[in-house]
């Protein structure tokens, strides 16, 4: 569901405030706010989840360390073979 409760409450408050102050603008405001509710909810949820740490950070470090060690070993082997081929 793309609707966030806080965005819905804010939209309802905005429509109510506009209805109290400028009743003739209320139908236009309802259409505009209804159109913007889903994107605003998505932005709010994205902002909330941006601070969360991914679960793969702790488990991924051992794999990363292993792959970096393997890459270093392969580079040393390539360098050794390249220097051996240049001497021939």
User: Dihedral of CA 16/18/20/26: which sign?
Assistant: negative
pLDDT at 21: 94
User: Which pLDDT tens digit goes with each residue over 10-59?
Assistant: 889 999 999 999 999 999 999 999 898 888 888 888 888 877 665 555 55
- Mean of pLDDT values over 63-82: 92
Residue 19 Cα distances to 4, 8, 10, angstroms:
23, 16, 14
CB 4 within 8 A of CB 45: yes
Q: What is the pTM of this model?
A: 0.49
pLDDT at 84: 78
């Amino acid at each position: 569901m793309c609707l966030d409760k806080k965005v819905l409450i804010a939209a309802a408050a905005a429509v109510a405030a506009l209805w109290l102050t400028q009743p003739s603008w209320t139908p236009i405001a309802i259409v505009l706010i209804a159109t913007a509710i889903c994107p605003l909810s998505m932005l709010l949820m994205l902002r909330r989840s941006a601070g969360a740490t991914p679960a793969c950070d702790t488990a991924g470090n051992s794999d990363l360390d292993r792959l970096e060690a393997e890459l270093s070993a392969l580079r040393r082997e390539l360098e050794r073979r390249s220097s051996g081929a240049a001497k021939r």
